[in-house]
Chains A and B, each alone.
Chain A
């Protein structure tokens, strides 16, 4: 049965955002036939727009679905998102402005551009690009899953192709305005998305606990319910859960700002100081995410029994909100899927165009050919994600997204360490990347597609995040290989960046 009040509100908000997306092309006008303008909106965004953009980019629809689902299923373990997001910004505060500065000075659009010049190696740039594209594809697919979930919750549940019509429409619209306006479109939509999300979550965090007898009460009810499950789960993290909790938090934090879509967000800022200020302001979204994690407990305490984890949030909204406001919340989630999906497709298109197409296929392409190629690739990427989501089981998309985090971490020595030191040999980084990707993938498959790796240490079993383990392995291999290659006097290549490129901001950049 179709929930008309919810669906009406949803459609109105979605239509509004569609108009906005198309207007994006005219916002802060620039020559959209240049990659810098199309993909990075001319690197002119000030503190506030950057805050909306990066917040809307990182806190994806899928995050909003998955985190409460995790808490619903596993209790305290799902709260690793709090340490994760509490440490990620202080860390990124240190290195992101440095990357912004060198990117501005040298005209980089992707992290792979940096790897190419820093190590004088287009192969290293290629593997960084491949990793980024591989990691981004399942992530875009999961945004579509987020839209599917809320559309189904409103009763649009037809059979076969009919079921997929809404999501296909949503994606055609998204693809069209991203093609036209580039990063300006999701930046403008992000302002609406984030506003809707803040309103929804703040309303939920006030209204739902009131209905459930207060914070302390719903927590203790949820605690009792969790303890009474066939496989009891704890409200307070148990000691055997420490290792996975910490390693997931740390590993996720190390990975977050190496994702292509994060980089695109950072590079669109107008100055390194805009990036710095945002690292102090973005935690507002983390508080929001923490509140959303509590939704998992609210669902348990309210006695709602969703059929699958993905339905935790939609069912909670439907039970606790009047229908029209549930529709408002669903629109927030669906629009919340469009922003990251657009930025991710732009970021993947940049990687393909800059580091594969221009590097290997058409080295002499003009700046305009470069931009038009990127626009086309952004369409292909989205189409790929759409087909992926329509034919592959959702479970596999989720598993792929988890291993994608481990893959991304394999570029850490090249990118983040590389920002500070050129100690690692370029060939060593390549060898470590190949080994790291292979071993991570094999372990993931053998571990039944789980990234929680069981390790026996001194007779006791610990679970550790695969990505973090493989990062340690990668660094060890890279160090050993560097030592051997240096002994053999293998050519290290020339560093095309200069120390000043990392610290001196370009003259003429406004300090907005």
Chain B
């Protein structure tokens, strides 16, 4: 068993990072447009796909950081 006291504080601090996808995804005015395109694909699409991947990486990062 790991000491519970050390875990709680260290863990929750990094959780704030997880708010980032909410800010970037729940404000469509940020991304509901055509330009800049990537390989002809409108910004609206590649931005959102990129965020699905980014939010997964962010979750993995927070998992690493919040483990003791």
Contacts and interface: CB of A to CB of B under 8 A. Distances in A.
A89 B48 contact: no
A249 interface: yes
Interface string A234-258: 0111110110011001100000000
Contacts of B54: 86
B35 to A, nearest CB: 10
A64 B2 CA distance: 43
Interface residues of B, number: 38
Given A90-B21, A215-B39, A246-B26, A236 B32 contact: yes
State the main secondary structure of chain B at its contact with A.
Answer: helix
B59 to A, nearest CB: 4
Contact of B42 (A85, A236, A241): A236
Contact of A287 (B32, B52, B59): B52
A246 B28 CA distance: 8
Given A215-B41, A216-B39, A82 B55 contact: no
State the main secondary structure of chain A at its contact with B.
Answer: helix
A309 interface: no
Nearest to B22: A87
A82 B51 contact: yes
B18 A91 contact: yes
Contact of B52 (A86, A237, A238): A86
Given A87-B21, A277-B63, A279-B63, 8 more contacts: A82-B51, A83-B48, A86-B54, A89-B56, A242-B28, A250-B26, A280-B60, A283-B52
Interface of A: 76, 79, 82-83, 85-87, 89-91, 93-94, 214-217, 219-220, 235-239, 241-242, 245-246, 249-250, 273, 276-277, 279-284, 286-287, 290, 500, 503-505, 507
Give the 9 A-B residue pairs with the shortest CB-CB distance, closest first. Answer: A216-B40, A283-B56, A280-B60, A83-B25, A90-B18, A82-B48, A237-B32, A280-B59, A86-B55
Interface of B: 1, 4, 7-8, 15, 18, 21-22, 25-29, 32-34, 37, 39-42, 44-45, 48-49, 51-60, 62-63, 67
